[in-house]
Amino acid sequence: MMRLTHIAILTTPALCALVLAGCGSTEPKEPLIHTPGTGSSFIYTYYSKDSSGRPIELTRRTVSRSVLATGVSVMGKNSVVQYLEDGDTINVHYEENGDASFLQAAVAYPNNDMPELPGLPLPSVTLPARWVTFPYGSRTAMAIPSFDTTIMVNVGGFPIPVTTHATGTTTYLKDEELSISGETIATNKGLLTLNITFTVPLLATGSVSVIDTIWFAPKLGMFIKDDGFSHGIFPEEYGGERDLGGTYNILTSYTLK
C-alpha cells in the first residue's frame, strides 16, 4: 500500500510485562509477545496490485527486514526497536498494555502507486511523522492523529490553495492462524483505515481512502502479512469514483536472534 504496507513492521520491547501464573503465585509466565534480538531477520514477498486487485508481476520482489537496534529513545518513547528495510530505519514500540505503536514516517500522497488525473494535477500532501497505535492488547478502536493543511498547487500556471484533511483508525479484528511456508502461526488480525480529502476551490473536491489489513504474530514480534488497497472519489470529469490499487506482502522465512 504505497508505503502503507511497511507501516506494519513492529516488535515488542524487552521489558514486556510478565503475567503471574495464578492467584498468589510468584512464578512468571513467558511474555505474551516475543522480542526479536538485534540481527533477527524477516524475508517477505512483496508486490503492487492493480485496480482489480490482481498482482502487478513486474513489481514482485523480495523484501528483507532486520533488527538494527533495541532500547532506543525516539519522539517521546523509550525502549523503541529499530528495523532496517530497504535502507530505511523504522521505529516500533510496545505499550505496557500490549498495544503496538509504530512511528509513521512522513508520507506524501499521491505517490507512485496512484494514477494521475487527466487535466488536474493532484496535490502532493505530506503527512507529518507521528506515532500510530494498533490496539492488540486493549482491543479498542483507536484514532490515528488527524492532519489538516493548506498547500499550493499549480493549475494552468496559477497557484491554487488546496485544503487537505486526513483521518484514520486502527482496529483489532480477531485472532487467526496463518500457514507460512508450512508452519502454522497464530496471529492477531487488525485493520488500518486512512481517509484523505482535498478541495481545490472552484475546480474539484475529492478523497482517497486506504484500507490495510494486517496480521501480527506475537511469537515472532512481527507483522507477517499485509494486504492494502486504496479507493478514490473524484469529479466525473477527472475519472469519477474508482479503485486505485494497493500492495501486498507476506512472510516467507525468518531467523530469530
Domain ranges of the chain: 4-255
Instruction: Please state the pTM of the whole predicted model.
Output: 0.75
Distance CA 79, CA 94 (A): 8
Tell me, what's the pLDDT at 155?
63
Tell me, what's the pLDDT at 137?
87
Q: What is the pLDDT of residues 46-105, one digit of tens each?
A: 999 999 999 999 999 999 999 999 889 998 898 888 999 888 888 888 887 888 888 877
Tell me, what's the pLDDT at 145?
82
Distance CA 207, CA 160 (A): 17
Task: Tell me the three cell numbers of residue 180.
Answer: 507460512
Tell me, what's the pLDDT at 148?
82
Which segments of the chain have a pLDDT < 50?
1-28, 111-120, 123
Task: Tell me the three cell numbers of residue 52.
Answer: 482489480
| Pairing relationship of beta strands 204-217 and 222-233 according to DSSP bridges | antiparallel
Tell me, what's the pLDDT at 28?
43
Distance CA 133, CA 144 (A): 8
Distance CA 222, CA 215 (A): 9
